[in-house]
Amino acid sequence: MFQMLIYGYAVFWLTSVTTLETESDVEVRLLDNQNSPLMATFDMSKANVRIKQFVSDTIEGKMKDIEELWKRKECMSDALEVKIKDIEAKNTKDTKLRPKGCEDVIQKRSNGIYTIYPVSNNNGFEVYCDFKTDNGNWTVFQKRINGTTDFFRGWEEYENGFGNLEAEFWLGNRKISDITSTGKYELRIDLTDFDGITGFAKYSTFSVGNASTNYILTVRGYNGNIGNGLWYNSGMSFTTKDRDNDRDSTVNCANTRNGAWWYNRCNNVNLNGQYLQRWKYDINGITWYEWKTSFHPMKSSVMMFRKVY
């Protein structure tokens, strides 16, 4: 059967190619007999040669096509590998250039929101950088200016942060810890009362521990003109209305002071307290007792830190 198919294919191929239709290629003998059908006898030897040559040429052509395709594939693979290496090199370079804090921001021209990438956070997050105050490079982590944002919040919100970086906000204890764990930092606090009088406090050492410490506060090395209000808070864990870490066994200081802080025994600093008007003196307000020797409410409060070299 296969032999017949081969012969049939040869007949079709030979009859379709005019250059082969000569006496030298195929001999035909016709028998004209009234009792016999018309028959043709072919000399298939030359046809077989041409079939073999055709198959050989076809296979050779296909092999060349495959070889050429493989070469193109290898070239594409090499080009892709080079491209991947270029991307990896670029990413490595970009990673090295990423600012780890406000002090690393290249375009230090104006205060505003920038994305930083602390060592412990590859994804990065936005912070508000102050490049004007006291030689700049400050990362602002708390701002109170008009009372539009409620600061009487729970643990998770203080852990993750809340508010508007362009207005009132708390950056978030986790982020503060991520940044201050990468080196030595100093703290600055700027306060303004309702009479427009300003004051500040600076601490040469500032850090906030991680979640396992309940974000314990460390400050020392006071300098400023509003009094060393935080001396009583250093070494304390953070307290919110739904998580009591203060040393007062009778109450939760966050609840009694309408805020959240590194309370010791519901002490005199309460910068995350209730925003009050100038005429209302209240222990629950935004207070720094050592400055006014009273619970004089503050109109604004800004807390920020920067890396010390």
146 pairs with which residues across the strands? none
**283 Cβ neighbours under 8 A, 6+ residues apart:** 257, 270, 295
**How high is the pLDDT of residue 49?**
73
Q: Would you kindly state where each structural domain of the chain is located, as residue ranges? A: 2-82, 102-307
73-98 pLDDT per residue, tens:
777 777 776 665 555 445 445 666 78
- Taking the model in full, what pTM does it have? 0.70
132-152 pLDDT per residue, tens:
999 999 999 999 999 999 999
**How high is the pLDDT of residue 82?**
65
Residues 46-66, mean pLDDT to the nearest whole number: 76
Q: Which CATH class is domain 102-307?
A: alpha beta
> Looking at per-residue confidence, does 110 or 15 come out higher?
110
Return the structure tokens found at 168: 């009132």
> Does the pLDDT value for residue 241 go beyond 80?
yes
3-state SS of 125-179? EEEEEECCHHHCCEEEEEEECCCCCCCCCCHHHHHHCEECCCCCEECCHHHHHHH
**How high is the pLDDT of residue 131?**
95
pLDDT mean across residues, the chain: 83
Q: How confident is the model at residue 13 (pLDDT cuts 50, 70, 90)?
A: very low
